[in-house]
Amino acid sequence: MKILTILGARPQFIKASALSRIIAQYNQSNQHEMINEVIVHSGQHFDSNMSDVFFEQLGIPKPNHHLGVSGVGHGVMTGRMLEKLESVTQMEMPDWVLVYGDTNTTLAGALVAAKLHIPLIHVEAGLRSNNLAMPEEVNRVLTDRISTVLFCPTQGAINNLKAEGYPFFCTGRELQNIHNVGDVMLDVIQHYSDEVHDKIDLSRWKVSEREYVLCTLHRAENTNDESRMRGILSALQQISKKWRVIMPLHPRTRKVIDKTIGGDFLKGLNIVDPVPYLEMQRLEMSAHTILTDSGGMQKEAFFHDVPCITLRDETEWVETVELGWNVLAGAYSERILAALDSVKCPDTKADYPYGRGDAAEKIIQQILDLK
C-alpha cells in the first residue's frame, strides 16, 4: 500500500510525526505487507527553525518531494501547489492521498486527489469555526466534502458533519467513511512530555514555573488590522507590569508591527525568535497562562492543563471553551485583561473530548481495514 502524505505547515509536521511513527512500527512487524509512505512538502512554511527542525526533532522521514511553493498570496500559492502536486501524484500513483488540517496545502492536495480519482483521507476533519472569512474555514469545509475517509478529533466534529448532511457519496457509489479517532496532537504531546520536561531547562529563558505568560500572534486577521493589533499589544503592555511576557515572534510579524503601530508597543515584552516544537512545549507546559490566536496552541494549552486566552472571536476547538480552559477575548484590551485577572484551572476534565493519545494507531488500523 502506498500513501502520499502532503504536508506544508508546522502543525501538519507535528501531526504527521504521530502517523509516521505508527507506520514505521507496523512495517517492522509486517515486512511482507509494508506501508510505503511518500511525503511531499509543499514549502508553505519553510525556514530552518520553522520547518527543517520539526522533521529533525520529531523523527519524520525526510520528504521525498519538495515543491518549494511559499511567499505568495493564497490564490497563487494554491494554484502553484495544484500544478506541482498533480505531477507528483501522477508519478507516484498512490493508493491513498492523505492531508491534514486546513491550510492551502490541505486544499490543494484534496483537489488533486479528487481530480485524479484517488481516495482521499482527511485527518482533523469536521472542525468548524463558522466563520467563512477565515481561509482555514474555507479550506476545511471544501476538503471534507471531497474526502473519502474523514478522521475527526472529537464527537463535536462528527456532529458538525452530521448537521451538514454527511456522509455523502464520495465516488458516486460509495458513502464517505467518518470516524472519531481522537486528536493526533495529543499522541505527540504524550510521546514527548517526559523528555520535554526533563531535558529542556526553563533557565534559558530566565523564567520559572508558572511565573510568566506566554503569547503568540500570527493570524492575518490580527496582524493586518491596526486596531486589533493595538488592542492586543496594549493589553500585553499592561500585563507586562505584573507578569513576565514571553513572546516568540516571527520577523515578518515584527516588521508589520514596526510599520503599522510602531515598535514601542513591544517594549517591556520579552520578544524571542520562533522556537522549535519541543522547546515550545516546554514554554507552554510551565506557563501561568497562554495568550494566542493559534488553533493548535489552544489545544496544547488544554493538554498541558494551562489556561488559555484566545485572541480571536471564535474557535473551532469549542470543547476547550465549554470545559472552562479557554476564554475567547478577541482583540479587546479590556476583555483580555479581565480574562487574565479571572483565570483559573477548572477542577476536572471528566468529559475529556480528545481521546486517549492513540489516534494515529486508530487511523492506520482503519486505513488497513479499508484497503
Note the pLDDT tens digit of each residue in 170-207.
766 688 999 999 999 999 999 999 999 999 999 999 99
**Of 131, 137, 136, 181, the residue nearest 155 (C-alpha):** 181
Position 54 scores a pLDDT of: 75
Q: Reduce the DSSP state of residue 54 to 3 states and report it.
A: helix
332 touches 310 (CB < 8 A): no
Position 349 scores a pLDDT of: 67
- Cell representation of residue 120: 482521499
**Of 98, 119, 159, the residue nearest 360 (C-alpha):** 98
Phi, psi of 329 (to 5 degrees): -105, -10
Please list the ranges in the chain whose pLDDT falls under 70.
Answer: 46-51, 171-173, 348-350
Q: How far apart are CA 330 and CA 326, in angstroms?
A: 12
- Cell representation of residue 240: 507586562
Q: What is the identity of the amino acid at 114?
A: A
Which pTM does this prediction carry?
Answer: 0.94
Q: Reduce the DSSP state of residue 120 to 3 states and report it.
A: strand
Q: How far apart are CA 140 and CA 128, in angstroms?
A: 8
Q: How far apart are CA 12 and CA 7, in angstroms?
A: 6
Position 171 scores a pLDDT of: 63
CATH fold group of domain 2-183+355-370: Rossmann fold (3.40.50)
Domain locations along the chain = 2-183+355-370, 206-341
Q: What is the identity of the amino acid at 23?
A: I
Phi, psi of 10 (to 5 degrees): -50, -50
Q: To the nearest whole percent, how much of the chain has pLDDT over 70? A: 96
Q: What is the DSSP-derived secondary structure letter of residue 284?
A: H
Pick 206-341's CATH classification: 3.30.460.80, 3.90.550.10, 3.40.50.2000, 3.30.70.1250: 3.40.50.2000
Out of 191, 218, 250, 288, pick the active-site residue. Answer: 218
Note the pLDDT tens digit of each residue in 330-341.
999 999 999 999
Note the pLDDT tens digit of each residue in 298-345.
999 999 999 999 999 999 999 999 999 999 999 999 999 999 999 988
Q: Reduce the DSSP state of residue 225 to 3 states and report it.
A: coil
Q: How far apart are CA 115 and CA 334, in angstroms?
A: 49
Q: How far apart are CA 45 and CA 227, in angstroms?
A: 27
Q: Across the chain, how many H-helices and E-strands are there?
A: 15, 13
Q: In DSSP terms, which residues pair with 218 in a beta bridge?
A: none
Position 371 scores a pLDDT of: 72
Determine whether 218 is an active site residue: yes
Q: Reduce the DSSP state of residue 369 to 3 states and report it.
A: helix
